[in-house]
Amino acid sequence: MTSLPFFFQDVKMANLKLHQLEFMKIAFTEIPEGLDVAGLMLDKHRRLFVEKGLNETHFDLVAGHFVGACQHLNVPQNLIDEAVGVIGPLRPVFEEGGKLAEHSTEEAKAIQAEEEKGEDKTIDHEEDKNNSETLLSKIGGIPALKAAVGEFYDRIMADESLSPFFEDTNMTMIKMHQLKFLEIAFTKIPDDLDVAGMMHDKHARLFDQGLNESHFDSVAGHFVATLEHLQVPQEHIDSAVAIVVPLRPIFVQGAINAKK
């Protein structure tokens, strides 16, 4: 199991102690009715859950150290028990966070396994030279595509009509999937890949939340604007749009199905 100091690498401990002090002051007086403590804790620790594997076992260790600190300071046992009664209910947050990490790890392993098997293999510079006619190579290969995906999602997250669909989403994994998809789309889509079915399944939950073709149009607009900002030649932008636009009917149908 990962030791606790691992989670505090490159952390400003003075600031962290101040935040903890403020949290304890609230927790040991009166928690405001409108404060979603569980949601706050999940958001504050999300990076540690997903990237470093924080889970309920680490919570138990921290709680044990907290109790030990109180005992060392000769805090009466009845008050320690009361404090534990305040903190203990937060444990399920760390259980849920641990599951987020497991899910992200499984996805990352799946992607890695795919790459190791050579399925949909990432096109390196040598392959770009050997297959200079692909759209991917024309726009600058994988480095250019990575830059485009990064800016593309920056624009989406700044769009108030789109950003709500990405709440509680692991953006690192989303960008990895998008990079993989565009890499395939801008080289050669395998004959046996059901793109329409895959897109519908991937967005099923979002269709239930109101995602429709108007959002697709907004996303496509951000995609074009990104390529223009990166000074991709217009002819290549047109080729990219020609690949993406046929996906629009999926979002029309997905929205219709969600209303049934």
Segment 61-110, tens digit of pLDDT: 888 888 889 899 999 988 988 888 888 888 888 888 888 766 655 555 55
> Is the model's pLDDT at 149 over the cut of 90?
yes
Q: What is the CA radius of gyration of the chain?
A: 24
The structure's pTM equals 0.51
Residue % of the chain over a pLDDT of 70: 87
Question: Cα–Cα distance between 154 and 169 in angstroms, integer?
Answer: 14
Of 177, 205, 208, 194, which Cα lies nearest the Cα of 247? Answer: 194
**Residue 5 DSSP one-character state:** G
Question: Cα–Cα distance between 43 and 49 in angstroms, integer?
Answer: 10
CB 93 within 8 A of CB 60: no
**pLDDT one-digit tens code per residue, 4-27:** 888 888 888 888 888 888 888 888
In degrees rounded to 5, what are phi and psi of residue 31? -75, 125
> Is the model's pLDDT at 123 over the cut of 50?
no
pLDDT of residue 130: 44
Handedness of CA 24, 25, 29, 30 (dihedral sign): negative
What is each CA distance from 210 to 142, 223, 249, in whole angstroms?
A: 33, 21, 15
In this structure, of 1-10, 20-29, 140-149, 184-193, the range with the lowest mean pLDDT score is 1-10
**pLDDT one-digit tens code per residue, 224-247:** 999 999 999 999 999 999 988 889
Of 110, 107, 5, 111, which Cα lies nearest the Cα of 52? Answer: 5
